[in-house]
Structure formats: C-alpha cells, structure tokens
Amino acid sequence: MRSTSPLKILLTMAFVVGCWAYSPTGIHIGLQAYDPGHLALLRFLLASLFMAVIAGFKGIHLPRLQDLPLLFALGFFAVSLHHVVLNIGQQSVSAGASSVLAQSTPLFSTLLARFLFKDRVSVWRWGCVLLGFVGVVIVVSGDRGLGSLDAHGLLILLAAVSWSVYFALQKHHARRYDGLTLVCYTVWSGTLLLLIYLPGLADSVAGAPLRVQWAVLGLGVFPSALAYLAWAFVLKHVDLSRATMTLYLIPPTAMGIASVGLGERPTLLVLAGSAVVLISVLALNLERPMVVRATQA
C-alpha cells in the first residue's frame, strides 16, 4: 500500500468526485424520457451487468445464507428506496440543490446513532445537526421557495435518510465481506427489488432519445459502479476521515456540471445554504480528530 503513487490516489479521488457529481445532471437528463422507477431500474441493470463482469475477473465470496436478509436490506436502502425517491424528488429540485441535500446524510446518521443505536451524541454534534438543517431550509427556499416545498422536495431528504440507514447497517453488520463483494451483492439485491418496475421498460428504452440513452449509460457505469470500486481503492490507501473530506467537493462540482449540461445557475441563497450544510457536515467529521489531538497534548 505504501508503494502506491500519491498522484494515483489523488486522481482516483478526483474520479470519484466527478462520477458522483455527474449523477444529479444525469438523473435530470434521464427523467426527460423515463419515469423515476424505470430510470432507477435501467441504471442498475447496467450497473449489475458491469459489476458481474468485474466480479468474474476479480472473484468474490458467496454470501452466507443467514446474511441474505441483511444483503437485501442493504440493497433496499442503498439502491431501491434511495434512487427511486431521489429520482422522484429531482423532478422538482434542481441538480445543484439536490447534490447539496444529498450531502446531508451525516446529519441523519447522527440522529440514527442516537435514537436507533443509542450512541452518545455530544452537544457539539447536536449543534452541527441543527446548523445543517438550517442550511437545508436555506437551500430549499433559495431553489424553489419555501412555498413550493412539497412531497417531491422532501423526498430528496428521504433519500439522504435511506443512505444513512445503509451506512449504519453496513457499519454495524456487514464486516464479514470485503468491499467488492459487499458492493456487488448490494447492487444486485437492490436491482432485484427494482424489478417491480420492469413492465413498460422496453417501450421506454425504445422511445428514448440518444442523448438520454448516453446519459443513463453514464449513470449505470460511472456513479453506480466504477465510483464504488474507485472509492474502495481510495479507502485501502487513505484514512477514512481524510478520504471523506474530498466528498465535500461533490456539490460545487455538481453545480458546475449542471451549469454546463443543464444551463442551471444556482442563486446566491442556494450557494449560502450549501456553505452552511457543508460546514456543518465538515464540523461533524472534525470533532473526533480534535478530541484526539487534545488528548495527545
């Protein structure tokens, strides 16, 4: 691991940021021809096929029978629920704002840690959560206005909650599998659950414009498959807390991609709210290193 070039690690991090930052724009383009369920299914059918090819070359462990409920739970929260509600939500939320709201996952993870797993949450963390939700309100009001906040807008936050549950389950129950194996089974199980949207998919594919087809292909290969493999590589060589810092580059990168691909221009209020959300999430992750340094001193 020490022989790995720092430049290679930095380029891999940049690749991950670019892949995940593309997702909101790709979803908006995909929704021009697909309904939310069809878009999620097609995206992960492509991702499942790609992951099957990777698994064939790399090799993965067979799942244990008693772990099947856990693997399907991971697939439900990380793939099925998360991406269906995200697609529905992005019908009324801009790509830039969506990327910011998706970064609120650590805020919900803190609430889950307290109320589901009964972990102790410090006053500092409660303050970060409160600040983060203030930023969420600012982003929503700056994007479409508080008066337009309906079920579609709230579904973006539900997607963040679903992602938080996925991370919690993965952290507490999924240590028996290596990264590639876990990603494969998560993608495959989630795709199986999405098969309820199969009726009518073939007709949607046949009628979709070429631009939309390329956008969905990009969604299936890059943010849904390659980014996870690249992220697993990064985590092998970089401490998790340091690697996570790079993810704060996703919202500004997503806004840049949306400005080029969709012609979106975020308002000053959205930019201000984005800064508040990202500062609160960053502060959550900085608490532990600060405590460690104080103890060592």
Summarize pLDDT for 32-70 with one digit per residue, the tens: 999 999 999 999 999 999 999 999 998 898 999 999 999
Q: What is the pLDDT of residue 240?
A: 61
Q: What is the pLDDT of residue 130?
A: 87
> Nearest-CA neighbor of 196 among 100, 116, 93, 81?
81
Q: What is the pLDDT of residue 291?
A: 37
What distances in angstroms separate CA 12 from CA 54, 199, 246, one per listed residue?
18, 38, 11
Q: How far apart are CA 240 and CA 225, in angstroms?
A: 20
Q: What is the pLDDT of residue 295?
A: 30
Task: Retrieve residue 162's tokens.
Answer: 């679903």
Predicted TM-score (pTM) of the model is 0.83
Parts of the chain with a pLDDT under 50: 1-2, 289-297
Q: What is the pLDDT of residue 289?
A: 44
Q: What is the pLDDT of residue 150?
A: 58
Q: What is the pLDDT of residue 144?
A: 67
> Nearest-CA neighbor of 16 among 4, 8, 6, 27?
8
Q: For residues 279 and 127, is the Cβ–Cβ distance under 8 A?
A: no
